[in-house]
Structure 1
Amino acid sequence: MSRLNWHQAVLQNMIDAVIAVDRDQRIMLLNPAAERLLGHALQQILGQNFFETFTFATAESRAEIQNSLEMVLVTGEHAVIASQAPLTTKAGSPLQISGNISPIYEHPGRIMGALLVLYDPAAEMEQNLCSEDLLGFIEHAPIAVALFDNSMRYLAASRRWIDDYKLDCESLLGRSHYKVFPETPNHWRIAHQQGLSGATLRDEELFLRHDGSVKWDRWILMPWYESQNTIGGIIVLTEDITDRKHLEQENQDLLEQLVAAQKIESLGRLAGGIAHDFNNMLNVIQGHVGLALLDIDADHPIHQHLTEIRDAAERSTELTQQLLSFSSREEAEPRFIELNQSIEGMLRILKRLIAEEIDFVWEPETAGCIVKMDSSQIDQILANLCVNASDAISGIGTITLKTENRKFDHEFCKAHPEYLPGHFVMLSVSDTGPGIDPATQARIFEPFFTTKPQGKGTGLGLSTVAGIVKQNQGFVRVENQPGSGSTFQIFLPCRRDGKPIPHLEHATRAPVGTNEMILLIDDEPMLAKISREILLSLGYRVIIATSPRDAIQMMLDFKGTVDLLITDVVMPEMNGQELYHALQKLQPNLNVLYMSGYTLHIMAEQGITSEENSFLKKPFSRNELAVKVRQVLQQN
């Protein structure tokens, strides 16, 4: 019910006669009690002068009330009609009235009229609390309301109050509230006493229903007065706001999800920027290692170290590519892989991720374990699960990495709904740590949930694992024995009909150039320098620039023909494609090879499509650069 409706309801149900007049003493409002008392209907006397409408038995009584009314309109002070002024009703019956006059303010400092509250003292019935009007109003009130005397006995209660609190209306009136509710909390007893002392209280509170459910109530408690200075009891109003509270909780949950999504989006942008810059540094490492391997015999002791550096850099390239895909939401590039071979290629890195005092056991499936997914996703799963397993072990322990082919039929899945039917490859990581308590296990896959100390974990590891597995139509199970460790089981669909792409060995001989001139632009000076050295080692002539502006100036200054432009795509001033079009105006037959550490999703925004043959992804090896340069030069 709106505030206006409440005001109307209160006015309509007041026992005392209420008359509102304006500053010219014209009648502007009558309530039903005034119409019954004086015998006039509002529509008959609206706008008429108060003292011309009602007849007073004596001139003295008329003058007394008129003087009081004028004083209220001028000064704003309240006035009391102390004597029982004789008034004649419309029907001609004599009436002795008492009451008071109060100012009505349009806004602070401006009086717009006065309110006369009149009553017939002879007609009062025990403070009128048992009048049919008041009882009717309370009984049919749209909210839960109860009226109590100063001993907290029920005088009246609305139907809503009786229904909400499951009470018997027949035996309620006259009973003490504390006998009706013998377990009334102490804070409510204190609130009742505060109300009986004149305080008005309001709050929101959680209540337990009889059926065991809970509800939220908003309540107001205030005193009612028998006379101007005597409190007769209290009135309590309650409203069920459970639905509103549930809505507020849903909104709070949505807000938290939005904040989490914004965190993930921000993390994605950060990861994308870091991965792009790291790719450039990896490219420098790979370039220098590739050149060093050319000068070292295969049987030299340093050759093996350089090979390890090269392989680790290539593995890191795959991981940074996954970060870039995460930041741009680009689809993964699944292919058939032999899981055991992929894991064995990662074992050296995994052993370095765990503590030295922890034994690492690898138990591969003897039969083939072929899955179809992005190989870098396997690396992510392994790294996250092994790091978590290592963190779970305090001191000496064992981590066991295992693969196994499994098949689940429909009957098994009916009895075990957490499984899916079909052929699967199970990848499991077990540890000998303390295990996971049930409360933690229920939340371990939630984004940003972590049990690690602040600064030691992001809470994204297991949620990333779960997301990758789901993306590849698999599922995850956790077997946990508190005190004896836990096992994470990753089930991925087995692709027995697929043929894994064999691992490509590094070519011993790269295609070389025939003294062609190359203009190379990269805004990372270290990468520009090592790329130049690689191209020189392949038999090309090279000039380099670190900005589009420098590249255009070099083209203007160069007197010969440039056979190939190799340019980064994302650069300040202009992107690679814009630079190529600008240089084409100087040399129309110029060939171009684009290179970038960003994903093809970002390249598409720059106008470079995945079908482009003239695109080289960073970081690249010496052989990859050699092959791509020859392809671009020979196609024209």
Structure 2
Amino acid sequence: MKLDRSTADSQEMLLSERVRIAYGSMASSLAGNIINSSILVALLWSVADQAILVGWWLYIFTISVWRGFDGWRFKKRGDGSRGVSYWARRFSIAAYLGAMGWSAAVLLLFQSDSVTYQALLAFVVAGMTAGATVVLSTFWLPGLAYLLLPLVPLAVQFFRLDGEIALGMGVMISLYLVVMVSVARKIHDNTIQNIRLRIESGLHEEELSKSEEKFRLLFESVDDAIFISNAKGQFIDVNPVAHQRLGYTKDEMLNMYASDLNSPKHEATVPVRMEKLKKYGRARFEVGHLHKDGTTMPVEVNCRIVDFQGERVQFSVVRDLTERIQAEQELKQSEERFRDISMSMADWIWEVNSDGVYTFVSGKVKELLGYEPDEVLGKTPLDLMSKDEASRVGRIFQDVAANKQAIVDLENWLLTKDGQSVCMLTSGVPILGGQGELLGYRGVDQDITERRRVEDELRKLSRAVEYAGESIVITAADGVIEYINPAFTRLTGFSAEDAVGKTPAILKSGEQDDAFYRAFWSTISSGKVWQGPLVDRRKDGSVYSAMMTVAPITDDHGEITHYVAMQMDMSEYEELEARFQQAQKMEAIGTLVGGIAHDFNNMLAALLGNVYLAKSSAKDNPAMVERLDRIETVSQRAADMIGQLLTFARKGTVAMRPLSLAPFLKEIFKLARPSIPESIEMKLQISDKDLISTGDVTQLQQVLLNLITNASHALEGVNDPEIVVGLKRFEPDSRFYQIHEEIKADQMALLYVRDNGCGIEDNDLDKVFEPFFTTKEAGKGSGLGLSMVHGAIKTHHGAVEIFSEPDAGTSVHLYLPLEGDGESLPEKAGKLEAEKGGGEGILLIDDEVLVREVNAEVLENLGYRVFVAENGVHAQAVYLRHAAEIGLALVDMVMPKMGGLEFVSWLRDKSATLPVIMMTGYDRDHALAAQEMPEHSVLLNKPIEVPELSSMVRVMIERERDK
């Protein structure tokens, strides 16, 4: 497409002409539609459904009337009222509806049993589509629809019929369709091309007239001189600037030749210029033109050979170079001065345009970044930075440039040619145009990498000293303190105002003699480092142990100018060491308890098994059974005690169970009494009714013993010292719930420990539950006691409160949720009876002979067949011999050669589902050692009562049998 106006305007003109032609041929199109449809109805009236014929004809007639009405409206109103797109859409829609109507004729009126009427229908439809190809030539898609919608169904109708005639007709219709599509496309393209040519012709004539007006206006108003000369060089036209600048009138210039203006200096170059002009049709050169007064004017001539009013002429645009040459000379002088200055400076001078692209860089860039100046030109500062630095600096540059502000001391990091980072201090000023527009920036970059490194090191050193946990002091050579860090104040209590200007003698505790200090000064004054422990005194008079290091600081000549001393408070480390030793001791005790409990549980297992066997043999002797029951009860109590020892050995594992608080508190009271000095009176206050909660006996025991111990420490030096331990019911009120939002229980037990000791200061009450906080003297408390109390009670879903006043005593309240009604333990089921077996085989594995023999006899007594083994290796052989007879394995966890878990793992390769009951004298966590419980297995703790064991055996066997 080639049109001179804008694409939108030209398309609008093209569409308007297409619509005009389309509606201009509307009359012939409507006549053809109505006539052809009427002929088709007449031909098919006797053979087709007349109702369909009438309906179809009315549809065609209606569409034709609609199209005719649109054509009338278009001619009357034109396309301005609605817009040409509106009329184009209406024309296309009507054409599509007409095409659908003729498609309906093929589908509804085709006579499948009459060749004659088939041919008539094909003839009418073919003629109709041929006419539509011409009428719709300005709109390709509607014209294509008029071909495809009728002819494709018509061809399909013939192909559906049998016979050579029908096949031939189908082929002919298909060929006709292909030919007509091709013809329609060519007619459409030719029509559009003709319309476009007519439009372009009109536009060209209009543009030509406007172009001539513009040329004359430009010719007369341009600032440069314009000369038009013929082939002989005579001027045939000049603009006002041309003759006025040289002092001539226009008439005088029209009688002159181009050679008349050449200065003698440039006369020799005329032949060369003319030869270039003839060869290339254009030439540009600088010469001197003679003024009428004889002076020479430097000019730049741009000359072309063009067609002008029917002849070949030289069209020359001549620009006065007087001001430019003067400016160039001044600029050259300025650049020389600037270059001399920039080369003598240590900094890098640069200039960028408004896009931030370097347009000038001084040679210093080679020394600073390793780039030649030409390598930097065309880049931006951001191209010389890392990605992150470019992002940061780019935002700063954008804000500065947007406000046309100066760049002042901007630190930024550039990358050298070999990838090293250098820090630049950038300053620059904006370059503004005549209208205030930003043209760029001019400035300098100073390499401050070394200065920045030194500053960073000094800053890091200063911060390290300020934030150091150790006390640091700097003194002059005579020992006068010049600097202390905050840690010194925290350690000694002396502030900078207290210490600066004095000597370290303010810290003397008297623990070191004069000989110590003489040796100390002798060492450091000789330039050596002194290190060792000592005891110093705080501002409040208290003493502390410290590890101190003192080093001399020398100048460039090796002379001592200062001393730096560092002290590390050893009190906390001594306490940590003591706590670590205590923790190791407790861990050793826990390990010992676990081992003893394991052996004791094995003994109890054997004892309870023998009791069961003895009771089975003594059923007819009630007195004997009663004695055996007592032995069994005592044994079970011993097992419970072992359970508590195992809980202690579990190192924090919580075993919650219903707990009767009154007997528990009485037991704690008796346990604590021997460890409390006899001078302290102890009282126990318990309400009439017992209270039931849920808790871990060991944890609560540790909590109460800790509180009683704390109370005894607070009573030192108190007259009539007293500790009260009590228990009562507590009903929370709104104040309590507001303080302890996590508490949901409405009935609670209150356990309290109260003393009449020294009490706690108000400002310390909020910190007593913090780890390592203590109000006791150094060495008398770890600061962990109350934090452990707080954590343990939180674990029990309870709360802790502490009430205290200085010299009036302290009361610690523990609140525990009550279980059920709070006054009765959950009822236990009646004593279980042992369940008999059904002759199943049981593989019993235990390395303890007594336990193994007793359990084997018990199981046989219950009706099982028992296969015994003393360890896992032995059990493998037994199982392989009797695998078909064994229905359950009873396995001890800890055995020599092969333990229980290892055996069960081996067993699972032989039988994936054989029930396994594992037994251990240790607690569950110790027994499993972080391993997963094997499938189809349970773990029971020794000693196991016979009814419990028999019940579990039956459950496991029956469960596997049900599967």
TM-score, normalised relative to structure 2: 0.35
Distance change in 2, residues 1:315/1:605 (3 Å): closer
The structure richer in strand per residue is 1
Distance 1:367 1:633, change over 3 A: same
Structure 1 CA distance for aligned equivalents of residues 669 and 509 of structure 2: 63
- Closer, same or farther in 2 for the Cα pair 1:538/1:252, shift >3 Å? same
SS at match of 2:891: strand
Looking at structure 1, the residues matched to 509 and 574 of structure 2 have their Cα atoms a distance apart, in angstroms, of 32
Deviation larger for 209-218 or 552-561: 209-218
Shift in Å, 1:474: 4.1
Residue of structure 2 aligned with 1:525, choices 839, 844, 849: 849
Match of 1:565 among 858, 867, 889: 889
Describe the SS at the equivalent of 2:839: coil
Task: Give 1:339's aligned amino acid.
Answer: S
Answering whether residue 566 of structure 2 is matched by residue 241 of structure 1, we say yes
Cα distance between partner residues in 1 of 2:540 and 2:691: 55
Q: Which residue of 2 aligns with 1:302?
A: 627
Partner of 2:601: 279
Greater displacement, 278-287 / 573-582: 573-582
The answer to whether the 8 Å contact 1:406/1:423 transfers is yes
Q: Is the contact made by 2:647 and 2:655 (CA closer than 8 Å) also made in structure 1? A: no
- Contact 1:407 1:424 survives alignment (8 Å): yes
Matches within 5 A, 1:220-619: 238-242=563-567, 245-246=568-569, 259-294=581-616, 295=618, 302-303=627-628, 305-326=630-651, 329-330=652-653, 332-335=654-657, 337=658, 339-340=660-661, 343-344=662-663, 364-366=686-688, 369-374=691-696, 377=699, 402-407=726-731, 409=733, 424-427=748-751, 468-474=792-798, 490-494=814-818, 502-505=826-829, 507=831, 509-558=833-882, 561-580=885-904, 582-583=906-907, 590-602=914-926, 604-605=928-929, 607-609=931-933, 614-619=938-943
AA matched with 2:645:
T
* Aligned amino acid, residue 514 of structure 2: H
* Residue 145 of structure 1: aligned partner: 476
Write the letter of the residue equivalent to 2:640.
R
Deviations 1:204-255 (A, max 9, x none): 7666688989998766899xxxxxxxxxxx989543424xx14x66566555
* Aligned equivalents of 1:541, 1:415: Cα separation in 2: 63
Match of 1:56 in 2: none
For structure 2, the residue ranges without an aligned partner over 5 or more in a row are 1-472, 485-495, 554-558, 713-721, 761-766, 775-783
Cα distance, 1:404 vs structure 2: 0.8
Listed one character per residue, the Cα deviations across residues 100-132 of structure 1 (whole Å, up to 9, x for unaligned) are xxxxxxxxxxxxxxxxxxxxxxxxxxxxxxxxx
Aligned amino acid, residue 514 of structure 1 = G
CA distance in 2, matches of 1:500, 1:604: 35
Output the CA distance in 2 between the equivalents of 1:538 and 1:382: 46
Instruction: Kindly state the Cα deviation for residue 518 of structure 1 after the two structures are TM-superposed.
Output: 1.3
Alignment of 1:187 onto 2:514: yes
Work out the CA distance in 2 between the residues paired with 1:507 and 1:421. Answer: 33
Residue 527 of structure 1 deviates from its aligned partner by 1.9
Per the TM alignment, residue 510 of structure 1 is displaced from its structure 2 partner at its CA by 1.7
- Pair 1:630-2:954 in alignment: yes
Show structure 1 runs of 5+ residues with no match.
Answer: 1-141, 149-156, 169-176, 223-233, 391-397, 450-459
**How much has 1:403 moved relative to structure 2?**
2.6
The alpha-carbon distance between structure 1 residues 594 and 426, as it changes in their structure 2 partners (threshold 3 A), is same
* Residue number in structure 2 paired with 1:3: none
State the one-letter code of the partner of 2:604. Answer: L
Query: Shift in Å at residue 626 of structure 1?
Result: 1.0
SS at match of 1:593: strand
1: CA distance, partners of 2:509 / 2:711: 53
* TM-aligned CA distance change 1:213 to 1:576, over 3 Å: closer
**Cα distance in 2 between the residues matched to 1:577 and 1:192:** 66
Task: State how far apart, in whole Å, the 2-side matches of 1:487 and 1:303 are.
Answer: 47
> Contact 2:483/2:500 (CA < 8 Å) preserved in 1?
no
1:554 and 1:189 map into 2 onto residues whose CA distance is 78
**One-letter amino acid of the structure 1 residue matched with residue 476 of structure 2:** V
**Offset, 1:520:** 0.3
Structure 1 pair 465–538 and aligned structure 2 pair: CA distance change class (3 A): farther
Kindly provide the CA deviation profile for residues 138-168 of structure 1, in whole angstroms up to 9, marking residues without a partner as x: xxxx9422459xxxxxxxx796699885449
Question: Contact conserved, 1:424 with 1:493, CA < 8 A, in 2?
Answer: yes
Alpha-carbon distance between aligned partners in 1 of 2:682 and 2:521, rounded to the nearest angstrom: 70
User: Over alpha carbons, which structure has the higher Rg?
Assistant: 2
Counterparts in 2 of 1:220 and 1:402: CA distance versus 1, 3 Å: closer
Q: Which one has the bigger helix percentage?
A: 2
Cα drift, residue 347 of structure 1: 7.2
Stretch of structure 1 that moved more, 467-476 or 485-494: 485-494
Superposed displacement of residue 512, structure 1: 1.2
Deviates more, 1:466-475 or 1:376-385: 376-385
Alignment check: 8 A CA contact 1:219 1:236 kept: no
Matched-pair contact (CA < 8 Å) for 1:408–1:420: no
CA distance in 1 between counterparts of 2:520 and 2:838 reads: 102
The CA distance in 2 between the partners of 1:562 and 1:510, in whole Å, is: 21
- Contact 1:535–1:542 (CA<8 Å) still a contact in 2? yes
Do 2:871 and 2:899's aligned partners in 1 also have CA atoms closer than 8 Å? Answer: no
Amino acid of the residue matched to residue 563 of structure 1? G
For residue 526 of structure 1, report the CA deviation from its aligned partner. 2.3
Taking a change above 3 Å as real, the CA distance of residues 187 and 572 of structure 1, as seen in their structure-2 partners, is same
Q: Which residue of 1 aligns with 2:300?
A: none
Partner of 2:163: none
Distance 1:386 1:404 in 2: 18
* Whole-angstrom distance in 1 between the partners of 2:516 and 2:583: 47
Change (3 A) 1:402 1:533: farther
Cα distance, 1:605 vs structure 2: 4.6
Question: How does 1:44-123 map onto structure 2 within 5 Å?
Answer: none
The 2-side partners of 1:349 and 1:284 are apart by: 31
Report deviation, 1:535.
1.5
Shift of 1:542: 1.7
